[in-house]
Structure 1
Amino acid sequence: MTNKNCILIDPPIKVANVSKREGVKELKEHPYCLLISPPGEFGTQTPNKGDNVKKALEAHEIYPPLGLAYIASVLRENDIGVKIIDARSMGMSGEEVVDEVKRESPDFVGITVVTPLISSALNVSKRIKEELPTAKIILGGPHIHFLHEEVIKADFVDFCVRGEGELTTIELIRALSAREGRDRSRDRDLKLKAVKGITFKTENNGKIAVNQDRPFIRDLDSLPFPARDLLPNHVYRRYVMGEEEKFT
């Protein structure tokens, strides 16, 4: 399993400061994150078993989930244990994903969601919450950006990340991992309300909170390269001039 040791940067995260730096603070917890590209099942068009998935995958170009890989690289540079499960590209079923998550026993599960896979993502999220009720379920991606207020109503969804997730995910993990005072729910809500780009249910009264939008990252060179080593690179390919080429 990925090393679960976690040290997060102490000062507010800036675009040009996503890497480790001096002045870090060890937290009470040692978070570990799983990032998931959900399987193509539960009403979507890509089957997930046997020869069917092979034929489906062979008929299409397969691209890596670079959004997750970028988030993973930022988490890793801040000493957060992270693993990526690209379930759709690997032809995994929903239950296979849940079994893998159970084996890893993460503190946080981040799932990227596009509209054709929303049913799959919600079903997987629900099953993970049933098996690991203490794990925080975080949904992001294009579908969530536009329909976050609807998705967050599900009792098994803890947080929705709107827009770019690299810096938001770091700040969210830090807010949830920091030590709390006597009024735990109030302290938690105050910390979370300072995280730009998230939608969540307040612990104090259960109301939906939509935080301020996070500005786009203007200096893309400030981000580390995507964590391609965490992806099943052998399955990705594209077609160039009619010929199949490996692609990562």
Structure 2
Amino acid sequence: MNFVFINPPRKISANNIWRIINPENPPLGIALLSAIWDKQGHTSQIIDAAVLQLEIPEIISMINPSTDFVGITATTPEITCAIIIAKKVREAFPCIKIIMGGAHPTVFHKELVRDKICDMVVRNEGEIPVTELAKESPYNLIPNLTWRKSDNEVIVNPDAETYMDLNSLPLPAYNKLPMRLYHSALGAAKNEPSIGMVTSRGCPGKCTFCFSKMFGLKIRLMSALNIIEHIEHLQKNYGIREISFYDDTFTANKKNVAELCQLILAKEIKLSWSCFSRVDSVTPELLLLMKKAGCHQIMYGFESIDEKILKNINKGTNSAQFQKVVDWTKAAKINIRGAFMFGNPGETLDSMERTLAFAKNSGIQFAVFNITTPYPGTALYQDFLRKDLLLHQKWDIYNLAEPILKLDSVPGEAVRRYYYKAYRNFYLRPGFILRHIFSKHTFAELLFYAKAASRITGFLFRSIFTSKTYKE
């Protein structure tokens, strides 16, 4: 049997900072499923239409008519395009079974199958269902599967009883991907080639803006040894010099991170890397070890400086921790990229101004500002949907750059203005510019800063006119 896995294209509007800084990550989920499928004695193909920037007719032309299954993954901003692809596959190849998976299909699994957009939805993790499909198990016995019977009845099979042991998984099918095209987010890597990697699933946090059901609340880890073997594979076969660890909280298990760092040092692996973390998940000792092992940047999710807002979104941190962790990280000589959100429940003009002031004055090197986006499946989405306080459900612009929540404390256009204001006020400061001009840099870093300055400056000046358009 042959399985074609598709990562749909995604168009990002020019007024969105992610058009400038967006990483090109390998679609690790479907690359894993491809490897699992092939391990069962079948064949598969991956079409990464996102990184290849393919139009839908080009995608359809790449599908072999003898294919048995087409699987399409999608998050919320990609779902519209994914649905169009599914319909075009149906028109061109009516005998191919169409499967959808990913965060958005997991939430709307019944509707997608009921409306005959697809034949099946794989909910949550896909490794067990794909393994069972490869074994040609009866559909009714496959966990995490929503499917449609011949009489059009929609069947929702039970969830899998357990989550995957990440150490039991094969390497993703990197050989089926255009590896030369992948890179980290602008500003996240100081060496190229760079690539994103995920070493854990699950999150113990209960932030209202995150969809934790996909992978559960319990963190599951790749062992430090398995991570090392993965890194060595990427270095040997693709010349990778930098890894961006895109785990939600890379340092959630400090012991595993410490072991990884010690292995990097013991094996003298030449690697620079960055990661995501929470302000309550690091210690000064761990940060020093991470720096020694090649970590040069950490992105902390500060979100807001306002205590009420942090409580409203169930962040589980407080602003008193912020400056402490900034000082610890700077002492370890690791750069900080702060992540902030405007437009949370309880947001006001004053809270946005104070959050921006913290970003500018705390000493962090880089900042990313987003507009709070309530993705389907999150507690935030459910709460505002129930109260009829979602401004719209245009999935294409659930993109971190458009107001979605109807707040009684601040108008959406004011949130939008602060989104642009924050980037201008943070990155166009004379002190920020001079500090980066006169800091010591490698040639590779100088090239990066020149590229970053060119792209971000253009975005910032365009935003001046965009924000004027939205003034009340």
Q: Same fold (TM over 0.5)?
A: yes
Which residue number corresponds to residue 22 of structure 2? 60
Tell me which residue corresponds to 1:245: 192
Does residue 1:127 correspond to 2:101, yes or no? no
Give the counterpart of 2:98 among 137, 148, 151. 137
Which residue does 1:73 correspond to in 2? 35
CA deviation vs aligned residue, 1:91-144 (integer Å, no higher than 9, x gap): 10111101111x464111011111101110000010011101110000000111
User: In the TM superposition, what are the counterparts of 1:161-176 in structure 2 within 5 Å?
Assistant: 161-175=122-136
Count of residues in Structure 1 that have an aligned counterpart in Structure 2 = 191
Q: Residues 46 and 97 (structure 1 numbering): CA distance in 2 closer, same or farther, change over 3 Å?
A: farther
1:242–1:219: structure 2 CA closer, same or farther, 3 Å change rule?
closer
Aligned match of 1:99: 61
- Report the Cα distance in structure 1 between the residues aligned to 2:89 and 2:59, rounded to whole angstroms: 9
Pairing partner for 1:192 from 136, 139, 142: 139
Q: List alignment gaps of at least 5 residues for structure 1.
A: 1-30, 48-55, 177-190
Q: 2:51 aligns with which of 89, 92, 102?
A: 89
TM-aligned CA distance change 1:241 to 1:143, over 3 Å: closer
**Displacement after TM superposition at 1:195 (Å):** 0.8
Q: Is the 8 A contact 2:12 2:19 kept in 1?
A: no
| Contact 2:40–2:135 (Cα < 8 Å) also in 1 | no
Structure with the largest fraction of helix: 2
Q: TM-score, normalised by structure 1?
A: 0.71
Q: Determine the C-alpha separation between the residues in 1 that align with 2:45 and 2:143.
A: 24
Secondary structure of residue in 2 paired with 1:152: helix
Task: Tell me if structure 2 keeps the 8 A contact 1:164–1:216.
Answer: no
Q: Is the 8 A contact 2:114 2:152 kept in 1?
A: no
Instruction: From the superposition, tell whether residues 115 and 107 of structure 1 become closer, same or farther in structure 2 (CA, over 3 Å).
Output: same
The answer to which of 149-158 and 86-95 deviates more is 149-158
CA separation in 2, counterparts of 1:46 and 1:150? 28
For 2:101, the aligned partner's letter is G
Question: Counterparts of 2:91 and 2:187 in 1: how far apart (Å)?
Answer: 44
Question: Any conservation in 2 of the 1:86–1:231 contact (CA below 8 Å)?
Answer: yes
Asked whether the 8 Å contact 1:237–1:244 carries over to 2, the reply is no
Is the contact between residue 74 and residue 166 of structure 1 (CA under 8 Å) also seen in structure 2? yes
**Aligned pair in 2 of structure 1 residues 221, 242: CA closer, same or farther (>3 Å)?**
closer
Q: Give the equivalent residue in structure 2 for 1:155.
A: 116
> Relative contact order (alpha carbons < 8 A, sep ≥ 6): 1 or 2 greater?
1
Offset at residue 247 of structure 1 (A): 2.6
Matches within 5 A, 1:208-227: 208-227=154-173
Which letter does structure 2 place at the counterpart of 1:70? L
Quote how far apart the aligned CAs of 1:222 are: 1.1
The answer to whether the Cα contact below 8 Å between 2:34 and 2:173 also exists between their aligned partners in 1 is yes
Task: Report SS of the residue matched to 2:77.
Answer: helix
Q: 8 Å contact 1:89–1:235 — kept in the other structure?
A: yes
Q: Distance in 2 between matches of 1:46 and 1:139?
A: 25
Post-superposition offset of 1:173:
3.9
Distance 2:189 2:141 in 1: 50
Q: Are residue 45 (structure 1) and residue 12 (structure 2) matched?
A: yes
Over 3 Å counting, the alpha-carbon distance change for 1:159 and 1:111 in structure 2 is same
Give the secondary-structure state (helix, strand or coil) at the position aligned to 1:88. helix
Which letter does structure 1 place at the counterpart of 2:142?
V
Q: What is the identity percentage for the equivalent residue pairs of Structure 1 and Structure 2? A: 30
For residue 217 of structure 1, report the CA deviation from its aligned partner: 3.1
Letter of the 1:60 counterpart: N
Change beyond 3 A, Cα 1:73–1:117: same
Q: Cα RMSD (Å) of the superposition?
A: 2.1
Runs of 4+ in 1 over 6 A off after TM superposition: none
Asked if residue 207 in structure 1 is aligned to residue 153 in structure 2, the reply is: yes
